A and B are shown apart, each in its own frame.
Chain A
């Protein structure tokens, strides 16, 4: 009987430990960030420079926030349609064996370490994407976003966004695939029996049923794109200015900036980097919690049915 109590206590302690860990991340980051935020002479949210070790320290996250959000948006615009398409292919279109092979290969893509994505992006993809960026500039240059006044097309936010897209496709397609598979077979057959084409069946049955899952899959992908460090750090040219011309060299993100500045930072510098990391943590936390809550609500809905 006593053994039971001890064992229950241990397992409960492990559970509580996980809760404390998540809480602890926020607390320790916040406490460490205080000195830099106190010394900072510039506005933390609107300043586009990073001089925390100067006298007096002046730094802000405006350029970091812009680069982080912009690369993530580009990644989402590319990865959500492709990831959804893959999920449709695996769950609905392909024969089971072929579907399994494709699913396995896409999952394998998720296992590729980010430093390899970075190295590949830097040495291989960047050179091959110059044509695409130049093409965007030539034909869509009248849209400020795609204009390129420098005629240099490397180390841009755009290329970082493309690599991030490739990195989050497996996340999006894996989660989406699972919700597609759960579509009630009766609804699918009813739609087909009424004469719907396969695409109409998908639009009228699969998508509405899977919408919460699809949204949360996209948000999980977004969370991963926002926090990705090494690939982005290798690709971007780490400039501290907001540049809306996404195919020009420039841009920086929270995570990449921490990795690049870490070993040259003084004590206020480290504290400032932790402050920017805290902002990143809170953003990803909010995105992830929202994604999980959407799925949880959907689960209640389905099981209550």
Chain B
């Protein structure tokens, strides 16, 4: 009897310890995020002013204060925009193939598997690929467009996965009702299936955009840095917010570090806003049934 109660005590103690450890890990997980947010906000705010958003770094020496992120902001906007314009249609077509046409086929299984594998391709490898393929082999120059292509590689698997999930959620009844009315399959997909899944696909695309907007490594390999505004995504050097931060860190002077932190603050706010809006939309449009 004594053995039993002491055994029970020990088991309960173990359980208590385990509970404590689990709660502790949840706390540990929150600390870095909070710390990053506090540090980025407190150090980034110093160089934030109207000039920072409206001017470029043209003719501003690293030792001087002032200048801004306008050229980098435009660069990120254009590069991520072009990447989205390519990745979204291709990604949705892949998802349509997987859900509407390919189910149970060998090709579909292979495509699905490699979409998963592509999710794990390191971003620098995406940059290397665009460099070796688009720039070395096809002979194009480094440009914002090359950067956009490397971002496309990173966006594509995310878009395919979310679009696939959303298409699967569209009830079969809708498709069958459409077929029964004599509507061809492809018209059904375009007019019925896609519109039904659209809100979910859009939030998925936004999450993909949030992921690639902060990418630095592929841009370093596929574009040249510049301190000036370049509106043409197809030619010449073009800055982006992540490479702007990288460049300012490399300068290393005090004014440059202030600008690096301010750039980091702009980047983190940009990414967080896209991310949070996408999550809120996803929660609102989530199917209620399950």
Contact = CB atoms under 8 A, between A and B. Distances in A.
Interface in A186-230: 197-200, 202, 220, 223-224, 226-230
B33 A85 contact: no
A54 interface: no
B28 interface: yes
Contact of B108 (A15, A259, A277): A15
Contacts of A11: 93-94, 96-97, 100-101
Interface stretch (A39-47, A152-160, A239-247, A278-286): A278-286
Contacts of B156: 18, 21
B155 to A, nearest CB: 12
A115 B214 contact: yes
Interface in B16-30: 18-19, 21-26, 28-30
B72 interface: no
Contact of B29 (A82, A199, A255): A82
Interface of B (DSSP majority class): helix
A259 B220 contact: yes
Contact of A115 (B35, B97, B187, B242): B242
Interface residues of A, number: 89
Given A4-B184, A15-B107, A200-B15, A112 B128 contact: no
A37 B219 CA distance: 25
B184 A3 contact: yes
A256 B136 CA distance: 22
A104 B186 contact: no
A7 B186 contact: yes
Contacts, number: 263
A288 B15 contact: no
29 contacts: A3-B187, A7-B185, A8-B101, A12-B97, A17-B94, A18-B115, A28-B129, A32-B132, A81-B25, A82-B25, A82-B29, A88-B25, A109-B29, A112-B33, A113-B215, A113-B216, A114-B214, A114-B216, A122-B249, A123-B43, A197-B12, A224-B122, A227-B124, A230-B242, A277-B128, A280-B122, A280-B124, A285-B120, A292-B116
Given A15-B94, A113-B215, A223-B122, 10 more contacts: A11-B93, A12-B102, A16-B107, A86-B26, A111-B210, A113-B268, A116-B214, A198-B19, A227-B121, A280-B122
Closest 7 CB pairs of A and B: A227-B122, A113-B214, A85-B25, A7-B186, A288-B120, A14-B93, A197-B15
